[in-house]
Amino acid sequence: MDDQSGLVEKTAQQVVEAHDPRTTPTQEFFGAVYDAGLSWVHFPVGLGGLGVARGLQARADAILQGAGAPNPMSLNPIGHGMAAATVFEHGQPELAREILRPLASTEHIWCQLFSEPGAGSDLAGLATSAVLDGDEWVINGQKVWTTLAHVARYALLIARTDPDQPKHKGLTYFVLDMHAPGVETRPLRQMTGQAEFNEVYLSDARIPDSHRLGAVGNGWRVAMTTLMNERSAIGGTSSVRGNGSIADAVELWARRPDLHTPVLRDKLATLWTRAEAQRLTDQRARVGATSGQPGPEGSIGKLVMAELNQDVYEFCMELLGPEATLYGDYTLRGVERVADYRGPVQQRFLRSRANTIEGGTSEVLRNILGERILGLPGDLRADSGKAWKDIPRG
C-alpha cells in the first residue's frame, strides 16, 4: 500500500471510529468527513480534501459507507456531485471557503438553474439575462425542471450576459442565493404525485460579482465542468456491492416467492450481472483517476445507469403483474431530501422514466460519445457563428 492510500484508509477509519455513522447526526458526521479531508480527497487540505489522487475517493467511500454512512450523493446530489467541483475549479478562494463545508455537511442543499422552457437539450440557447449594475448582477428569466429548488439554499446559475455573441460565447456563470429577493419557486407535480422538480422565476434578483464563477462570457466552459461532474456523479454507483436499484429488485424477489418463474429468475440474474458490471467499471474508473475534472467518458456511466434503472424497475412491475397498477397516492407533496424519494416500488418505476432525460438525455449523451470519444462527424448546426439575438426561437 502506498503512502497516499494508507493515509486515506487510516483517516477514514479514524472518522468512523470517532463518529459512528449509524448514531451520529448526518450533518455532524459529514462535517467531520469534511474536516478530515475525505469529502473530495483530491481537494486541498482545509477545503475538504487531502491533496491526494482523485481515484482514492473510492477507498474512502468504501470504508465510510461500509460502516453505515449514507452516500452523500443521496442527500445533496447537485451540491456534492456538481457544485463543489465547479466552485473549487472556477470560484474565488474566499467563496470556496465560505461554501464548501456547509455543502459537504448537507446543511446547505443545492440546485442547478440550467434548463429553460425554450432551452432544454439546447442549453446554450437559454434566454435568462444577467446585467451588471455596479458590483452586482441583475438577473431576469425563468428556469424549469429544477430538482430540489424548493429546499435549496444555493443554486448554480448560467445566464446570458451578451446577446450579440454566438450563443455559446455570451454566457456567464454564477452562484445564486435561493433566499434572495426576486427568486420565486413553484412546484411541478409529477406523475408520482410528488413535486421534486420546480419552476424558478427570477425577477430583478441580484447576485454580487464575487459570486461569479469564471470570467464574464466564459460561462459555457464553467458549465462543462458542472455537466461532466454531473454525468459522472449520476452514473456513479455505490461502493457497496448490490446497492442501488438492483437491491430493490432483489428485495422484492425475496419477499414474493409466490411470483417466481424461471423466466423472471433469468431476467433478474441478467440485471444483477449488468449492475455489478456497472459498479466494477465505475470503481475501476474512479481508482484509475488521478486529478483534474471528468471528461466525456462520464457520459458512459450516466447513459448505462439510466437505462439499467429503467430496466430494473420494469422487471419489478413485470414481477408484480396486476399488482403493479396499485399505486393510488397522487397527493401533491414536496420532497424534503433525495432520500425521501423512496416509496412503493411503483413510485420508483414512475420516477425512473426521468433517468434518461435528466442530466443530459440519452440521445445527447450518445452524440457526445460519438463525437468526442469515437471521433464521428458532428451534427450540422445551422446557428453556428450567429449572434444569439439573431437565432429564431419558438
Angstrom distance (rounded) from CA 174 to CA 99? 13
Active-site annotation holder among 230, 318, 323, 371: 230
Q: Provide the Cα torsion 224, 140, 200, 305; round to 10°.
A: -10
Angstrom distance (rounded) from CA 104 to CA 89? 16
Dihedral sign for Cα 114, 118, 121, 124, please.
negative
49, β-bridge pairs: 45
230 is catalytic: yes
- At residue 92, what is the residue type? Q
- At residue 228, what is the residue type? M
Angstrom distance (rounded) from CA 107 to CA 152? 10
Angstrom distance (rounded) from CA 27 to CA 361? 33
Give the residue numbers annotated as catalytic, written as ranges.
230
